[in-house]
């Protein structure tokens, strides 16, 4: 009987632990190159928490418009790990916090976490050369007006393209800001009427690194 009573007390103590209401307030801003930027159209921020200790893995989650800039997650008193994630309007994950925030909450407490800076955009740069036989040649000599650089990002089994058109003559270019993550590449050469003269898929995948311009090196075209 004593063992049964002690077990009953222990189980009730565990059940009662963390049963009191508390909350976590978090704020965020989107940054690029040290400057604040707007949220992507119809994007959302998901604030989620998992409770540690005796009762592991008990989740809490709230989904908010990115433009809200802050939100409050209602939880119970316990030790919590808090995660932030940014999703675009299609539901594709754009960014997740590099390391979960942790906090210990007691009954009635509202914990204010440090403001979170969301940095998820980066760029790619490249250059190109033209060869005719074994000799260098120019854009004008080959009738090339522009180089079209296409990055493909996979979202739910669909390849979503982003297009950058560069004037050919400078023989180099830097893309617009692109979402963090892995992409595949395609380079097209266009004439002055916008017709595709040459199309080249780049086999290797490339990763967009937040707040960095990744140099892809030089691409050679033979005529």
pTM over 0.75: no
Q: Of 68, 84, 118, which residue constitutes the final position of a domain?
A: 118
Are residues 55 and 114 located together in one domain of the fold? yes
φ/ψ of residue 60, rounded to 5: -145, 145
Q: Which residues contact 47 (CB under 8 A, 6 or more apart)?
A: 24, 26, 61, 62, 64, 71, 73, 82, 83, 84
Q: Alpha carbon of 125 to those of 56, 129, 151, 153, 155: distances in Å?
A: 46, 14, 12, 17, 23
Out of 89, 118, 147, a domain closes at 118
Task: Please check whether residues 167 and 147 belong to one and the same domain.
Answer: yes
Q: Are residues 156 and 190 in the same domain?
A: yes
Reading the block at residue 105, the tokens are 């909450």
The C-alpha angle with vertex 133 and arms to 166 and 187, in degrees rounded to 5, equals 25
Tens of pLDDT, residues 172-222: 999 999 988 889 999 999 999 999 999 888 866 788 999 899 999 999 999
In a shared domain, residues 112 and 126: no
In a domain, 98, yes or no: yes
Residue 129 in domain: yes
Q: What is the CATH number of the domain that holds 139?
A: 2.60.40.3540
How deeply is 5 buried, as exposed, middle or buried, from its count of CB atoms within 10 A (0-12, 13-18, 19+)? exposed
Claim to verify: residue 114 and residue 128 sit in the same structural domain = no
Clarify whether residues 72 and 112 are in a common domain.
yes
pLDDT of 7 strictly over 90 = no
Tally of structural domains, the chain: 2
Of 124, 121, 120, nearest in space to 174 by CA: 124
Task: Summarize pLDDT for 26-69 with one digit per residue, the tens.
Answer: 999 999 888 899 999 999 999 998 886 544 455 689 999 999 99
Tallying the residues shown for the chain, one arrives at 223
Domain annotation covers residue 189: yes
216 and 171 in a common domain = yes
> Are 107 and 129 members of one domain?
no
My answer on whether 27 and 71 are in the same domain is: yes
The last residue of one of the domains, among 76, 94, 118, is 118
Q: Are strands 121-132 and 213-222 parallel, antiparallel or unpaired?
A: parallel
Q: Is the pLDDT of residue 3 over 70?
A: no
18-33 pLDDT, tens digit per residue, is 457 888 999 999 998 8
Residues 69 and 160 placed together within one structural domain of the fold: no
Question: Is there a domain that residue 2 lies in?
Answer: no
Residue 69 covered by a domain = yes
pLDDT reading at 4 higher than 60: no
Q: Is residue 182 part of a domain?
A: yes
* Range of the structural domain that residue 57 is part of: 18-118
Name 91's Cβ contacts closer than 8 Å, sequence gap at least 6: 156
Write down the mean pLDDT value for the chain.
Answer: 85
Is residue 3 situated within a structural domain? no
Query: What gap in Å lies between CA 222 and CA 136, rounded to an integer?
Result: 9
Are 138 and 90 in a shared domain? no
CATH number of the domain that 85 lies in?
2.60.40.1120
């Amino acid at each position: 009987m004593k063992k049964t009573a002690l077990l009953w007390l222990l189980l009730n103590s565990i059940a009662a632990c963390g049963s009191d209401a508390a909350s976590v307030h978090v704020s965020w801003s989107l940054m690029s190159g040290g400057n604040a930027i707007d949220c992507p159209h119809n994007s959302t921020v998901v604030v989620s928490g998992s409770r540690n200790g005796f009762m592991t893995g008990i989740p809490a989650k709230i989904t908010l418009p990115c433009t809200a800039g802050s939100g409050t997650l209602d939880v119970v008193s316990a030790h919590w790990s808090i995660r932030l994630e940014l999703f675009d309007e299609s539901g594709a994950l754009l960014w997740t916090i590099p390391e979960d925030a942790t906090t210990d909450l007691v009954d009635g407490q509202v914990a204010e976490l440090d403001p979170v800076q969301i940095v998820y955009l980066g760029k790619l740069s490249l250059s190109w050369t033209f060869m005719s036989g074994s000799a260098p040649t120019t854009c004008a000599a080959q009738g090339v007006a522009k180089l079209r650089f296409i990055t493909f990002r996979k979202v739910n089994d669909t390849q979503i393209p982003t297009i950058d058109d560069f004037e050919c003559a400078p023989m180099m270019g830097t893309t617009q800001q692109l979402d963090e993550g892995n992409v595949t590449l395609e380079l097209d050469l266009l004439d002055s009427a916008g017709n595709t003269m040459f199309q080249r898929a780049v086999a290797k995948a490339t990763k967009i690194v937040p707040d960095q311009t990744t140099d892809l090196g030089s691409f050679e075209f033979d005529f």
